[in-house]
Amino acid sequence: MAKKTIFTKAKEILIAPWTESEGVLTAPTASAAIELASVIADSLTITQEDPETTDIDCETSDEPIYSVTTAGKYTVELNNASIDDEYLEKVMGWEKAGTNFVAPMSYAARYIAIQVGFTENSKYLYLPKVLIAPKLVFESLSTNIAYGTLSGTASSAKIGSDSSAKEAPIAILSAAVLTKSPGK
């Protein structure tokens, strides 16, 4: 009987921002990862939407002339309770102003890679490129805490660097792509 692979109990959540220079996006390096050690329990969701079918109907028949089915998008959401300087600047896109941080005046597309490691197996869930809409939430602070919400949609990007590399929005990997930097 084959061994079951169960995905439960995230032991590590790493994110790495994509960088942009002169309009060119560059995938993050493995060591650019930021560990999210304070993700609020049960707030991490990675979901594939249902496939969508578009039919070109026929005037003289109930059967469509042609159907196009597209795979559902992968969406991600998580709530991170640790709103430190690195998170504000590299993930949320806030700017340092002396010893303070200020929010950007306008929306700018921000991409991150996300990797989740699990306690029940040695596999990793990896989304190489997620367009995020980050926001801070300060509400019900007498019974809750402030947190940063990352929500977004995965895009396809190259996974791997050898001849077996593929473009995909999500992968289950046997080895980590992102690594924690020493001291982080």
Q: Report the phi/psi class of residue 174: left, alpha or beta, with left for phi > 0 and alpha for psi in -120 to 50.
A: alpha
User: Does residue 184 carry a pLDDT above 70?
Assistant: no
Q: Which residues partner with 99 through β-bridges?
A: none
pLDDT digits (tens, 9 = 90+) for 156-180: 999 887 788 899 999 999 999 998 8
Q: Residue 182: what pLDDT?
A: 60
pLDDT digits (tens, 9 = 90+) for 80-131: 999 999 999 988 889 999 999 999 888 788 999 999 999 888 899 999 999 9
- Give the mean model confidence (pLDDT) for residues 32-56: 91
Residues recorded for the chain = 184
User: Does residue 72 carry a pLDDT above 80?
Assistant: yes
Q: Residue 183: what pLDDT?
A: 55
Q: Report the phi/psi class of residue 92: left, alpha or beta, with left for phi > 0 and alpha for psi in -120 to 50.
A: alpha
Q: Residue 164: what pLDDT?
A: 83
Q: What mean pLDDT, rounded, does the chain reach?
A: 89
How many other β-carbons are positioned within 10 Å of the β-carbon of residue 148? 21
CA dist 96 and 12 (Å) reads 28
* 165 and 128 Cβ atoms separated by less than 8 Å: no
Question: In Å, what is the CA distance from 31 to each residue of 46, 48, 100?
Answer: 23, 28, 26
Residue 117: alpha-carbon gap to chain centroid: 13
Non-local (6+) Cβ contacts of 44 within 8 A are 10, 13, 77, 78, 116
In 49-141 the beta strands, taken as DSSP E runs, fall at: 52-56, 66-70, 74-80, 95-97, 100-102, 110-118, 124-132, 135-137
CA dist 119 and 156 (Å) reads 27
Q: Residue 173: what pLDDT?
A: 92
Q: Residue 181: what pLDDT?
A: 66
